[in-house]
Amino acid sequence: MKNNDWLDEWVKSTAIGQGNMRVADWQPFNIWLLEPFVGDFWVDKWLGAIKKINSGKMGLRRLSKTVKPSVWRKELRFLMWSAKIWGYDINQRMEIASFFHQMLCEIFEEDKFGLYSNKPDPKSAYEIMQLPFRQATPELSKELGKLSSSCPAISWSLFTDFYYSNSYDIYGLYDARDFFGKGSALVIKNFGPYVCPELWPESRNYKYNKITVYSIHKKLEGHFDIINHYMGNDNWASKMTHCLAFVDGKEVGSAKELHGIQDYFAELASEQFGRFSDLSFEEVKVKCTETKWYQFKDFFAALGEDWRPPKKALDRFGGKELAKFEFPEYKNEREKTGYFMKIVDPRKELDSKTAQFWRGWRKALR
């Protein structure tokens, strides 16, 4: 794409993905109203990082691999939201957006912005298709389906419903016809890492850390959006023809063993949700912020920086409710998508009513 033509595609994919979420369901921890509290600290951290990268000789490909592919896509929308709320100018917003675009170009050969797929590293996927897959029996399909429900629950309980991609990413659909026949597609499910003692000390005792499931499906009709929603009504288990599952690098091919692992994760998720539920409102605000920044722990480590939010940023939450900003009522999905397109597009400013609210909020915050 020439010049900034890529932005139109990025804005469209991001707004469509956001349109698949129900913002009203996130009370009282609406992330769009929580993140502005530390938005200026976060934007400044990224502007500093980009300056350091541009002045040095750091390999962009290596840096791109420090973060889950979907996280790069998701985070830019929040950075643009915070940058506009805190009055950063268009040049600064474009600097950040262009850097994220560079990261996505290092990861994806096609559909970089997730309009219809999530297919990083196609060469690796091609090699995976040549592995000795197992025939998908009803028992294996059933247990893998259960595991694919329990593992995301762990991700949500550890990293919240807002930042779960830190340990849950689905890649596909990769064309697998050369190995498994016409209409076949490879799906890769990456669960973990779950051991995150910096956020949850209890996690260092977990029996398992990373789970990867490779599955071949026949005639899946759906696709993924930018935030890992599968858009379609297919029954995955009934269309699975072959599969492979690895737990911490070791293949697990027994339905009985998979059942035991699934049971373990289901119990673990229940316990972890309990820990999160026991947090106070003040603690949740801090935990969400720490979790957000933690997603880029390895990225900032590569730059020789600490990932943690500064105490000054966390102190800003103290005793404060979330902003009272109300998103508009949308007449239809097109109007909703259009609203979020304006929010995430670095070239455009917030509408006057929204901008006025956040100016008043910033003034009161100080």
**Structural domain contains residue 192:** yes
- Note the pTM of the prediction, 2 decimals: 0.92
**Structural domain contains residue 40:** yes
Last residue of a domain, one of 250, 277, 304: 277
Residues 95 and 73 in one domain: yes
Amino acid 194 reads Y
Residues 267 and 190 in one domain: yes
Residues 42 and 54 in one domain: yes
Residues 102 and 19 in one domain: yes
**Contact residues for 211 (Cβ-Cβ < 8 A; gap 6+):** 147, 151, 189, 190, 191, 192, 245, 246, 247, 248, 261
Last residue of a domain, one of 223, 254, 277: 277
Residues 296 and 203 in one domain: no
Structure tokens at 286: 């801090």
Residues 208 and 296 in one domain: no
Last residue of a domain, one of 277, 297, 327: 277
* 28 secondary structure, DSSP code: T
**Structural domain contains residue 1:** no
Residues 134 and 238 in one domain: yes
Residues 256 and 345 in one domain: no
Give one DSSP letter per residue of 203-228, joined into a string. Answer: GGG-S---EEEEEEEES---EE-TTS
CB 36 within 8 A of CB 79: no
Q: What is the pLDDT along the chain (366 residues), one digit of tens a residue?
A: 456 778 888 887 777 665 555 544 445 678 889 999 999 999 999 999 999 999 987 889 999 999 998 899 889 989 999 999 999 999 999 999 999 999 999 999 988 888 888 899 899 999 999 999 999 999 999 999 899 888 989 999 999 888 888 898 899 899 999 999 999 999 999 999 999 999 999 999 999 999 999 999 998 887 777 766 677 777 777 899 999 999 999 999 999 999 999 999 999 999 999 999 999 999 999 999 999 999 999 999 999 999 999 999 999 988 899 889 988 888 888 888 888 888 889 999 999 999 999 999 999 987
Give one DSSP letter per residue of 137-177, joined into a string. Answer: -HHHHHHHHHHHHHHHHHHHHHHTTTSGGGSEEEEEEEE-H
CB 295 within 8 A of CB 166: yes
Amino acid 15 reads A
Residues 34 and 168 in one domain: no
**Structural domain contains residue 79:** yes
Residues 42 and 79 in one domain: yes
**Structural domain contains residue 304:** yes
**Structural domain contains residue 328:** yes
Number of domains in the chain: 2
**Nearest alpha-carbon partner for 191 in 226, 237, 231, 157:** 157
CB 147 within 8 A of CB 265: yes
Full residue range of the structural domain in which residue 224 is found: 122-277
Please tell me the chain's helix, strand, coil percentages from 3-state DSSP, rounded to the nearest 5: 55, 10, 35
Residues 101 and 165 in one domain: no
Residues 171 and 266 in one domain: yes
**Structural domain contains residue 76:** yes
